[in-house]
Amino acid sequence: MKKDELRGVDGVILVDLVDAPDKTKGGVIIPKVAKEYPNTGVVLTTGEYRDAERKHKSDVKKGDTVVFDKMAGRYVELEDGRVLALRYTDILAVVEQQ
């Protein structure tokens, strides 16, 4: 299965992770063990969010860069990489493109 073959359901948003940089701005190389968990990613697909009364369209859309809780979601391994499946409520912010 590949990333473009998936669709989130019931408030699940699939996110392609944005890796942390390997170097600091000053040129210091950061080893893998010292890197933090990624907390930003690009939305691949969204599902409708449901509450007790009705369905809602998601505020995020494909291509948006989002910020989420570092320990949120579940990783899904695919043929062409791994994605993070997040609940709609785990999204903290959408990065506004300028």
Domain ranges of the chain: 3-95
CATH number of 3-95: 2.30.33.40
Q: How much is the pTM?
A: 0.71
Q: pLDDT digit string (tens) for 17-65?
A: 876 666 667 777 766 665 566 788 999 888 776 666 766 666 788 899 9
Question: 56-61 long-range contacts, Cβ below 8 Å, gap at least 24?
Answer: 58/11, 58/13, 58/88, 59/94, 60/13, 60/91, 60/94
Average pLDDT over residues 57-82: 84
